[in-house]
Structures are given as C-alpha cells and as structure tokens.
C-alpha cells in the first residue's frame, strides 16, 4: 500500500470534506460494469473489448452515444444497450450483491472522528446509489448524495463536484475528490477540487497524472492525506 503526492502546493486549504465517486471507488462494481457492458453488446450483436468497455465509465447518453458510434457506427443505440446492460447486471446483483471496496469503513470512521464531511458524487441514478449503499450499510455514512442524473452535464464536466461541495457547504478547494477513472479525475480537477485517484481496473496515464493531487493504492491510504 502506498500514497503518492504529486502536487502538495495545491493543498493550501484545510480539507473539510471528501467527495466520493461510488462505482469502483466505494463499491467493487466497475468490474461488473465492464463485464455487463460487454455482455449487453454481445446480446445486441456487437463485440466490445475490455478496453472499450472501460471507456464507458461515467459517460451518460450525451457522451456515451457518440463514443459508441465511434466504435460501432451510427446504427448502435446507447439507450438500448444501456437498458440491456442494466437488465443483465441487475439480475446478477440481485443474486450476488456488490462488495464494498477495501478500506471504505476505516476511512469513513476516521473522517467521522475528525469531523470531516462526506458526500457521494456519482454518475449513477439516485435510486441505484441508495439501493447499493444501503445493501452494505453505508447509506447513513454520507451526509449528502449527489447523482449525475440531477445535473445539466455529467462527468467530465465539473457539475457533479461543484454540486457535491456546495451541498456540504464547502468550497471545492476544501474538498478531496476520490475517483478511480480518468473521466472522473478530469471532472474533479475542473471543479477545483483536490483530485485523488484510487486506481481500480487501470492506472492513471500521463495526462491524468498531471491532474492529480495524489494517488492512493487503497482507501485506507487516503487517511494519510487527512492527517
């Protein structure tokens, strides 16, 4: 386990809040999204690679449709593919659940002890946020829940992180933003938060690394940024 600080000079303000992405960060769900985007594509007659499915992370219809068209041509329908992915993934989750990520309870315990606020800033719909967090006894641990379905522009636009900070009554520069994807990191950086990557399925590339305040191997390591 390790913590790498890239831009300590960005941390000019005390950290008063932490904004959490959910999928792949709080919950070990990105591996499921990757699997079921591919299975949904196959069910509709398309062959999607793992790398292509990773590109779907955090993308709503506005950006997801052109991304899919760049891969498979204009005939593909984002909504149809998403609905199939939801059908397949929901069946799996209802049978097996989604595990929490390593260190999430320890990090939230430390934050509660120190009076540091917590908010979810996820691209998922609110219904999914509440359902999945409740299933692992985490719903009550976050003071605010922010869904990308309730803002004008999804990630990588800054809207969700601006909303998360505002909901906590904080300035973006007073918040750590924890993410596992390049799209999410770009969103957090554009909002003015201290963006921290906790890698899940892949490591940050050079462009993403330039936007990072820090990288943590696990959520437990994030505690070191709060001390």
Strands, E assignment, the chain: 3-5, 17-20, 117-122, 144-147, 175-179, 194-197, 214-216
pLDDT score, position 198: 98
* Average pLDDT score over residue span 193-202: 95
Is 30-96 a CATH 1.10.10 domain?
A: no
Superfamily of domain 3-28+99-226: HAD superfamily/HAD-like (3.40.50.1000)
Average pLDDT of span 143-167: 96
pLDDT of residue 201: 87
pLDDT in tens, 71-123: 999 999 999 999 999 999 999 999 999 999 999 999 999 999 999 999 999 99
* pLDDT given for residue 57 in this prediction: 87
Within 10 angstroms of residue 185's Cβ, the number of other Cβ atoms is: 29
CA distance 161 to 152: 12
| The predicted structure's pLDDT at residue 75 | 92
Q: How far apart are CA 189 and CA 127, in angstroms?
A: 27
Question: What value does the mean pLDDT take over residues 115-132?
Answer: 96
What local confidence, expressed as pLDDT, does residue 1 receive? 66
pTM of the model: 0.90
Distance of CA 73 to the CA centre of its chain: 28
In the chain, CATH 3.40.50.1000 covers 3-28+99-226
CA dihedral 216, 218, 220, 221 (to 10 degrees): -20
The ranges of the chain annotated as CATH 1.10.150 are 30-96
């Amino acid at each position: 386990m390790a913590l790498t600080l890239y831009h300590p000079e960005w941390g000019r303000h005390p950290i008063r809040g932490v904004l959490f992405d959910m999928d792949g960060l709080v919950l070990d769900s990105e591996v499921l999204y990757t699997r079921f985007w591919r299975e949904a594509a196959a069910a509709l007659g398309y062959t999607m690679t793992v790398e292509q499915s990773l590109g779907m992370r955090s993308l709503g219809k506005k950006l997801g449709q052109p991304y899919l068209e760049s891969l498979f041509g204009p005939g593909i329908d984002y909504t149809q593919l998403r609905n199939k992915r939801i059908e397949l993934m929901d069946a799996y989750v209802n049978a097996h659940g989604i595990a929490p990520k390593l260190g999430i309870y320890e990090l939230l315990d430390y934050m509660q002890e120190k009076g540091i606020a917590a908010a979810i800033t996820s691209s998922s719909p609110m219904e999914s946020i509440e359902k999945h967090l409740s299933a692992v006894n985490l719903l009550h641990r976050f003071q605010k829940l922010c869904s990308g379905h309730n803002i004008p522009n999804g990630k990588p636009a800054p809207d969700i992180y601006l909303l998360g900070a505002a909901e906590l009554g904080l300035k973006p520069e007073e918040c750590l933003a924890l993410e596992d994807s390049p799209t999410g990191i770009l969103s957090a950086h554009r909002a003015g938060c201290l963006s921290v990557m906790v890698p899940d399925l892949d490591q940050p590339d050079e462009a993403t690394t330039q936007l990072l305040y820090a990288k943590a191997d696990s959520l437990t390591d994030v505690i070191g940024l709060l001390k």
